Structure 1
Amino acid sequence: MGLGNIWRFPFITGQEGGGAFLVTYLLFVALIGFPAILVEFVIGRYTNLNPVGAIRELGSGAWNYLGWLFVVTGFVILSYYSVVAGWFLRYTLIGVTDGYALAGPEEAGALFGTVSTGLDSLLFHAVFMALVIGIIAAGVRKGIEIGVKVMVPAIIALLLGLAAYAFTLDASTAAYSYYLSPDFGYLAANWASILPAAAGQAFFTLSLGMGVMITYASYLGEDRNLAADAGVIVTLDTLIAVIVGFVVFPFLFAAGIEPGSGGASAIFVSLTSAFAGIPGGRILGVVFFAMVGIAALSSAISILEVLVSYLIDELGVARVPASVALGVAVFLLGVPVTIDLIFLDLYDKLADGVLLVLGSLLLALFVGWVIPEIAREELERGIGALGGLGDAWIWIVRIPIVIVVLISLYLGIVDYVDFLTGDLAEWLAAR
């Protein structure tokens, strides 16, 4: 649970039609996300290795490069993920020191401009990465496990409290109608945009296509029920995102702001405007932004762990120097995002629309067609055959998942090319 659920989900949902996106996203998570997470689970637990080593042990030839795709994807995602997480830390501090006494969305937009780029953004990007490095360097048991045990209950409690408060707002009825009532006419007319957005959001928030679940599954015992574990992860992760919608959209409607407008800045501009105009808004704002910072930290440590585990397993580097070296490299890659938000779009559209989907597609092909027997036996270890569950899962991975993800990848590539030849080309021309 992290920025995918809380920062990204609301504005993507708003941009893609509210309920029309939500129903597509939920179907994608259930029908594609759940079988796809099992793909990474069986590889990780069978090999007990990092993604690069795992694929090399099971495959050969060109397949050995698949693990490197995960390393590259993790680098790209964490570089801008850290910058965005730093924004939430900065907004928490603003609430503590100055509050959110802004006259309206215009002033809130000006504040976001100050926070999102420049020295402020660079400083809090550094602070966030330092926290991530410290937790990873402490080790999986001392750092990640203890940290997540504390953070996850806090996230759930804070979200439920904010959702309960949002329910009392006058605009909540209209907001829930927009959020929960899909316009199927809009969906039919805009499926080419909604489908890749749902695919990218699902893979992003479930940490698929970058080797995170391979790494975590490598620590699981043989008696674990992988299907049950996957079900818990998918259900809770999706539930958190849905609850965030119940928090954010009532505040957006109460502030009179168009859902999804403003892209990455939407949650900051809209919610600071909302917090400025409601009783107790300063306290709620501090709680909300601190909560997101905690959630972001829990996800960031999982991404960096993939990169660090590679250096530990493959090159024999000690955990502390591996964590510091890779953390600094990620920080440097994220520096351009602190200079201009065009780089956020450049990184995010590449990672979300192309790299994550490509990684998941290749993994599905690898498991479904190269190592199907190994994968089936590993899935059934700890749960029994269950009437051919493994065989059914293999065929789902082989055909339906490959087809849907391939279509999503094509649409994502088209969208990224449009960005490169459109927005980015215009930005470069202006320089």
Structure 2
Amino acid sequence: MTRSTWRTRIGFILAAVGSAVGIGNIWRFPWLTAENGGAAFLTLYLVLVVGVGVPGLIGEFVIGRRSNRNPVGAFDELAGRWYRPLGAIALIACLVILSFYSVVGGWILRYTFASTTGAYFAAPQQYFAAIDYGLGAVGFHVLFLAATVAIVYLGVERGIELSTTVMVPGIVVLFGGLAVWVSTLPGAGGGYDFYLSLDVSYLRENFFSVLPAAAGQALFTLSVGAGTMLTYSSYLGEDRSLAADGTLIAVLNTAIGVLAGLVIFPLLFSLGVSPGQGGPGALFVSLAGAFAELPYSRLVGVVFFGVVLLAALSSAISILEVLVAYLVDEHDLSRGWATLGTGGIFLVTGTIAALSPSAFGLLADTLSNVVLTAGLIGFLLFDGWVLGRLAREEFGRGAGPIAQIFEAPWYYAIAVVLPVFLAFTLVTSVAGIVGIDTSTGSAMALALIGITAVVLTFRRHGIPVERSA
């Protein structure tokens, strides 16, 4: 069967950006920034996007384009069935993410409808507190999930590419206009200070608590570790530069996230809302207050939340498609039954998240960080230790002379440096889940153990370990 491909390079890039931009950058980024010290989080996040996110994104591209398969089938195709569990981690990541993603999608859907009446204008904080969890949240979660399932059921080969070509530029234009407007508000300067002025002492004292959140957001915002980018890259042609496309996607994604912060934090301070009080509702509280002050406020609210809804929907479709593709390719289920079955699972898991703030927080913050980090570790180790020369060869396909300069540094980074670092952040995250107070000394000891294990393994087996594809 002939496999679909992206029609244009810009279509692929905007689809990849759109897979995370709706919730990853516009909703989750400001929330986690507010809870982790503002500029301290932003600083670590930017470093990790460049040093971890981009190499990891390219590593996932390598596996996807080399195999032309879904996450589980890709490892089977390239190295045999014993490596299929690496793809299973990506499936678990999709399960975790979409379970809370559809709840947030329901919030966005509700705000889109509420914008027509201006229901949230008078008291934005109180409005969100009244609708964030409970039976109403379940109802809108179901509506959002139903729309996602319906589109995937009918097929989305061209839907994502066409919609994101319009959607992503629209989000940039809207946020750019809002960023200019909020700069004129009284009290906005406090938001800029919180967001852009680095408190070195705070970062030093809270480094090991901020690091896992920043690493998880760097992976979340680039959609790496969950198999989404692996699946997208399986439709790429061999004449495309993975390094160039991956870098451009990372730049666009990060720019939109930073731009969202330049809107939301000045708005929070101008409204007299402490950033730490925003929580998961920071986006809704701040923008709701902003729209109330704008001319044609209801129309602006409908347009804005409508565009974000499209972004969230395209992201949800891409996540659900990973699971559906696995069931169709590996278990010979019809597309219809695979879509309805996975939709039924998310109906239950999303309902739990919509009813329980603690369950939502566990999925949206801690568990998503853990599974994305674990997934990327598996992808990178597979690239570096199993594919070996073939990974470097795939990196070089379609790459120009400048990109080829980075081939060797990229390879040794994904084979050694990044897995050790990600293992360190993974251990830190797991320690937090189980309630262990991980001190600096014990954390560093765990990192040294990981480095020692890598060194000993390499001394025994050598790099690269090449396998035929």
Structure 1 and Structure 2 fold alike (TM over 0.5): yes
**Deviation by residue 1:321-375 (Cα, 9 ceiling, x = unmatched):** 3223222322222111121211101222343221111111121111111211111
| Structure 2: runs of 5 or more not aligned | 1-20, 437-469
The count of aligned residue pairs is: 415
- Counterpart in 1 of 2:328? 312
**Deviation by residue 1:269-298 (Cα, 9 ceiling, x = unmatched):** 344345445665544443433332222112
- Counterpart in 2 of 1:175? 191
Structure 1 residues 350 and 185 mapped into 2: Cα distance closer, same or farther (>3 Å)? closer
Find 2:210's aligned residue among 190, 194, 197. Answer: 194
Q: Secondary structure at the match of 1:320?
A: helix
Give yes or no for the alignment of 1:418 onto 2:435.
yes
Whether contact under 8 Å (1:155, 1:294) holds in the other structure is no
CA distance in 1, matches of 2:339, 2:377: 29
Structure 1 residues 148 and 277 mapped into 2: Cα distance closer, same or farther (>3 Å)? closer
Aligned residue type for 1:31: G
CA distance in 2, matches of 1:99, 1:277: 14
Structure 1 residues 155 and 320 mapped into 2: Cα distance closer, same or farther (>3 Å)? farther
Aligned residue type for 1:12: L
- Counterpart in 2 of 1:70? 90
- Counterpart in 2 of 1:423? none
- Counterpart in 1 of 2:104? 84
Whether contact under 8 Å (1:353, 1:416) holds in the other structure is no
- Counterpart in 2 of 1:122? 138
Whether contact under 8 Å (1:100, 1:275) holds in the other structure is no
**Deviation by residue 1:54-88 (Cα, 9 ceiling, x = unmatched):** 01222346532111111111012101100111101
Q: How far is the alpha carbon of 1:248 from its aligned partner?
A: 0.4
- Counterpart in 2 of 1:402? 419
- Counterpart in 1 of 2:173? 157
Q: How far is the alpha carbon of 1:181 from its aligned partner?
A: 1.6
Q: Secondary structure at the match of 1:140?
A: coil
- Counterpart in 2 of 1:233? 249
- Counterpart in 2 of 1:425? none
Structure 1 residues 232 and 184 mapped into 2: Cα distance closer, same or farther (>3 Å)? same
Aligned residue type for 2:430: I
**Deviation by residue 1:163-218 (Cα, 9 ceiling, x = unmatched):** 22212212222322221121122111111011111100011111111100110000
Q: Secondary structure at the match of 1:135?
A: helix
Whether contact under 8 Å (2:107, 2:132) holds in the other structure is yes
Q: Percent identity?
A: 45
Find 1:43's aligned residue among 63, 69, 86. Answer: 63
**1:245-284 equivalence runs, <5 A:** 245-276=261-292, 281-284=297-300
Give yes or no for the alignment of 1:375 onto 2:391.
yes
**Deviation by residue 1:294-317 (Cα, 9 ceiling, x = unmatched):** 221121111111111112221233
Q: Secondary structure at the match of 1:134?
A: helix
Out of 74-83 and 54-63, give the one that drifted further. Answer: 54-63
Q: Secondary structure at the match of 2:157?
A: helix
- Counterpart in 2 of 1:214? 230
Whether contact under 8 Å (1:211, 1:306) holds in the other structure is yes
Aligned-pair RMSD on alpha carbons?
2.0
**Deviation by residue 1:355-408 (Cα, 9 ceiling, x = unmatched):** 111111121111111211111101101115755532221101122211221111
CA distance in 2, matches of 1:8, 1:128: 18
**Deviation by residue 1:145-177 (Cα, 9 ceiling, x = unmatched):** 222223222222222222222122122223222
CA distance in 2, matches of 1:377, 1:148: 31
Aligned residue type for 1:33: G
Out of 375-384 and 144-153, give the one that drifted further. Answer: 144-153
- Counterpart in 1 of 2:9? none
Whether contact under 8 Å (1:38, 1:226) holds in the other structure is yes
| Structure 1: runs of 5 or more not aligned | 420-431
TM-score, L = length of structure 2: 0.84
- Counterpart in 1 of 2:116? 96
Structure 1 residues 246 and 283 mapped into 2: Cα distance closer, same or farther (>3 Å)? farther
CA distance in 2, matches of 1:301, 1:150: 17
